[in-house]
Every structure is written in C-alpha cells, then in structure tokens.
Amino acid sequence: MNKRVMAGVLAGGMLLLAGCADMGGNHAAVPAQETRAALPSRAEALAVIDKVNGYWQRKTPATEWAFWNVAAYHTGNMAAYEVTHNEAYRQYSERWADYNGWKGAKSDDKAEWKLTYGETDDHVLFGDWQVCFQTYLDLYRLGPQDPRRVARAREVMGYEIGTGRNDYWWWADGLYMVMPVMTKMYKLTGDRRYLDKMVAYFEYANGLMYDADTHLYYRDARYVYPQHKSVNGKKDFWARGDGWVFAALAKVLADLPREDPYRPMFEERFRAMAQTLATIQSPDGYWTRSLIDPAHAPGPETSGTAFFTYGMLWGINNGLLDRTTYLPVAARGWQYLTHTAIQPDGKVGYVQPIGDRAIPGQVVDRDSTAHFGVGAVLLAASEMAKLAR
C-alpha cells in the first residue's frame, strides 16, 4: 500500500481535530459543536424519499434508455426500495429493465464491441453502458430469479474479465459505473476473477487519476495538475467526479466479504477520502464543484454533495467512520439537501448538468436537475433512514 496514503489515514484524525483545511481552498472545517444540524427521525427520512422519488417517477417515464445518466438514478431507486419496501419503486425499475431487454449496449457481435466512449450499441465494453447491470443484478436477487435478468451481465462482464486488458476505467465516473457490478457479479457467480480484475482495473485508474497528497481523484488524465489548473492555479478536483468514486468505494465495501484480502485496501482509501472531504465542506453543508478552489465555480452543487453525504452516512452506519467525527459532516450535508436542494414539490435542484469538470460561470440553480442527481439524493436519504432506525 502507498505509504503516503497510509500516512494520510493516520494523520486524518489530527487534521480533523485541528479544525482547519489547508488544501489551498477557502473553506475552514467547522467544529462539530458549532454545527449541530438536527438529525431526522426515520419517518422524516422516509418522507424525504417519498417526496423526492414520488415527484421524479410521476414526471419521468420508466421507458428510457439504459445509459449511465438514467441507470445511475436506478441505483438510488433500488436503495430507496431497500429501506421503504415500496413496491412502486421496484416495479418502476423492472419496467425500465424490461424496456431495455435487461441489456446495456445491445450489440451481439463481439468483434465490434468497443470500450472507448460511445453512446451507440457497439460500445458494449464502455462502463457507462454497464452501470445498468447493478440494478438488474439487484432485481434478480430480489426475485423472481429469472436467468434472463442476468444473462447479458454474465455475457458482457464474463467476456471482459476474460480479456488481458486492464485499461477499462480511465475516468473517475467509471469507478461508480462498474466497480459495484464486479462485486455483485462475484456474489452471483463465486468467480474470484471478478475481484482480481476489479483490483487490476482500479490500480490502472489510480495510476491515471489519484492524487496521493490530497487523497482525491482527478476526473481523468486531462485534469492532472500542473497540466491543468483551476482559475486560481490550484489542483482542480471535480466534486461529482470524486463523488462517484467515494460512493463507489462504499458500494464495493457493502458487497465485499469482510475477510477478503482486498478489503483493507478499499477501506483505507475510503477513510482517506473521507478525511479530506470532511475538511473542505462548506459551512452551509455543500461541497463546491471544484473541491479545493471554491472560487473556481462557487455556490452549491447537489450531486457531489449527495454522494459525499451518502458515503459519510454509509461509513458511520457500517462502522468504518467515527460517528463523533463524521456525523456532523453528514448532518450538514443533509441540512443542505433538505433545506436548499430539494424544492417544496420534491424536485431536486442545484444539480450540475452532464459534464466532466467544474465550469466557471456555469449556471446551477434550483431548476437544475438530472436523473443522477436524484439517484444520489435517494442514496443519501436511504442511509439517513438506516441511521435513524
């Protein structure tokens, strides 16, 4: 394990207790005693889920494609079903899966399968077409266990782990799209190659995007410092990009057996990211789009904030993060989500549109919403309901 990463983990508690973030940003970490945001009851957290998801499903047909932006919503919808047992939620995802034939990209000609970016049916190996498998695998587990539900996931992911390539995940978002698929496929099949390949792909991604000094991820190799800088000459870590990674680590750890030899590596990375994220949260509970240069693209943003809040709550609920240290962070995130991001009718606002970076001057306001932002809020709300249980 990288010694600098380990040093960061050991130093994390000291940094948090010091109450300041010296990452080159303008945020000061807010002492817990000064930010006693009220935690909801379980009923209140479930009411938030119903408000947000009810609004979304009334406004949005289930008959949409299986590409990442829609599929990411369904990962949140399945988390909402897990805590609410609302059959309407499960049925909504089933209708979506049926509409897409329980597939991502649909080409059956393996000779034309591509792993580069693409929105067409021949980009079968591109991770943005594989996130749908998370929901298909979850629906299969819930039953009925119809082999058709997982046939395409078996075909595509089985083919992929049989190749000698490790360069499948070259962008931060891809870690959320596919890492949890790998652990779910391992649980389905018992084939350890899924875990071995997941780690090989993860190590490749780390070599491209991971910054060991901050324990954060650049969105992809184009944004690595000093090749790319924020408007103030700082490292530019995109909030939603790091949100994808932090949430992916939580989802992987949720499925990875406790005795698995790979588990300490993922736990260490998860804690290191949490330590940094806790120090750069704004006093208002959100994280700005450029994490350590708030002036680069100032103001609230919901998708990154919701993913970070989800990860913090998941870590507390599962004993990986110290409750005293991190619950105030999660509570501030929840306060932002419920008092600013979620509108009175249930619409989720302040979601940065589809993109790959923090863009100075881009308008992100109460009317800015997207599938993946709603999914992220549902993940956070589902963990809050578990915390309050």
Phi-psi region of 60 (alpha: psi -120 to 50; beta: other; left: phi over 0): beta
Which residues are catalytically annotated?
A: 173
Distance CA(329)–CA(308), nearest Å, equals: 9
Give the residues across from 238 on adjacent strands.
290
- Tell me the CA distances in angstroms from 316 to 66, 255, 259, 271, 329, one per residue in order: 32, 16, 20, 11, 11
C-alpha to C-alpha distance for 222 and 349, rounded to whole angstroms: 29
